[in-house]
Copies of this chain bind each other. A is one copy, B any other.
């Protein structure tokens, strides 16, 4: 049986405000982490730099996260959730044909890269490059994120196969895996060329080859 403790409205309000502030601080830290890790990487980013940007004392950081690594895991989760939403917005857009949805995702990604002057790229790709060599836990997390994106892409490609827009023989899952392996390469290359050409060229050739 639950015990109901009566509280004054002011006490309830105070507790709600504290919970809200706590949630906001954690959220602010993680959002800032996405931004800074995208730009500078994980190892090159100091916690101090992050706290300065958000305007939060050090103790507060360790209230929410056991370590920088623990924080990194939360940042990857945040980015993965944000990106999945973005990806599904294109790939599940029923106003478009399945292959047009992939083109819509590519257009969205092109704009995203151009917006930050081709410096940020994909956080999952960046951290794979930086951390895969020596951190098995990050490795598993990043691979799982890519597999989830592949899953959504495979579902969209399956619709294109069902519609007869691409032949069935390659298989939607194999095409989606191929796309995501190569797409992270295209993001990387766009950082070098500082333009959308590698993204455009990879996606166009992928769609031409898949439809052949």
A interface residues (Cβ-Cβ under 8 A, vs B): 39, 41, 43-44, 118-121, 125-126, 128-130, 132-134, 139, 142-143, 146, 170, 174-175, 177-178, 181-186, 188-189, 191-194, 198, 201-202, 205-206, 208-210, 212
CB of A209 to closest CB in B, whole Å: 4
Q: How far apart sit A41 and B41, CA to CA, in the bound complex (Å)?
A: 12
Contact partners of A184 in chain B: CB under 8 A: 185, 188-189
Query: B182 touching A130 by the CB < 8 A rule?
Result: no
Contact partners of A193 in chain B: CB under 8 A: 143
Q: How far apart sit A189 and B192, CA to CA, in the bound complex (Å)?
A: 19
29 sampled A-B residue pairs with Cβ under 8 A: A39-B133, A43-B44, A118-B133, A119-B134, A120-B133, A121-B129, A125-B129, A128-B189, A128-B192, A129-B129, A129-B130, A129-B188, A132-B191, A132-B194, A133-B191, A143-B193, A170-B205, A170-B209, A177-B201, A181-B186, A181-B189, A182-B182, A182-B185, A182-B186, A184-B188, A184-B189, A185-B185, A185-B186, A212-B212
Given A181-B185, A182-B186, A184-B189, A133-B119 contact (CB < 8 Å):
yes
Query: A181 touching B209 by the CB < 8 A rule?
Result: no
Q: How far apart sit A193 and B175, CA to CA, in the bound complex (Å)?
A: 18
Q: How far apart sit A120 and B129, CA to CA, in the bound complex (Å)?
A: 10
Query: A188 touching B191 by the CB < 8 A rule?
Result: no
Q: How far apart sit A209 and B211, CA to CA, in the bound complex (Å)?
A: 9
Contact partners of A205 in chain B: CB under 8 A: 170, 174-175, 177-178
Query: B208 touching A181 by the CB < 8 A rule?
Result: no
Contact partners of A174 in chain B: CB under 8 A: 201, 205
Q: How far apart sit A87 and B44, CA to CA, in the bound complex (Å)?
A: 33
Of B41, B44, B142, B185, which is within 8 A of A183 by CB?
B185
Contact partners of A134 in chain B: CB under 8 A: 119
